[in-house]
Amino acid sequence: MMIMLMPYITTATELQRNYKKVAQKARRVKDVVVVLSNNIPEGVYIDYNTFLAMMSRQRIVDDNIEKRNLLSLAGSVDSGVIGKLNKNMDEMFEKVDKEVWE
């Protein structure tokens, strides 16, 4: 998909009157077509295959972000720090008024 500075635009009237033409344009450009109503963005039209490709790329990006976040934490905290954290949390929970939480 080519990144465009200006989106592909059509009007709601054009979409209603010439649906096939707008659909062909969306298929050809492999990008969304912004639909305007009274010169205000109302929605988008996207070819189904382009939609599937975008969703696939988004899943890959989401998976990579999740893996990168988890891998960045792996092995970065030593057991001494974890022990202190656990001790501090235990002390904090001892100070909680249990009657308030019941």
Give the per-residue pLDDT at 86. Answer: 73
Q: Hey, where are the domains in the chain?
A: 1-46, 47-95
45 DSSP 8-state letter: E
Tokens (6 digits) for 85 = 């954290």
Question: Domain 1-46 belongs to what topology?
Answer: YefM-like fold (3.40.1620)
How far is 79 from 58, CA to CA, in rounded Å?
36
* pLDDT block averages, 10 residues each, the chain of length 102: 67 94 91 91 91 82 62 61 72 67 60
Give the per-residue pLDDT at 1. Answer: 46
Type of residue at 81: V
Give the per-residue pLDDT at 102. Answer: 59
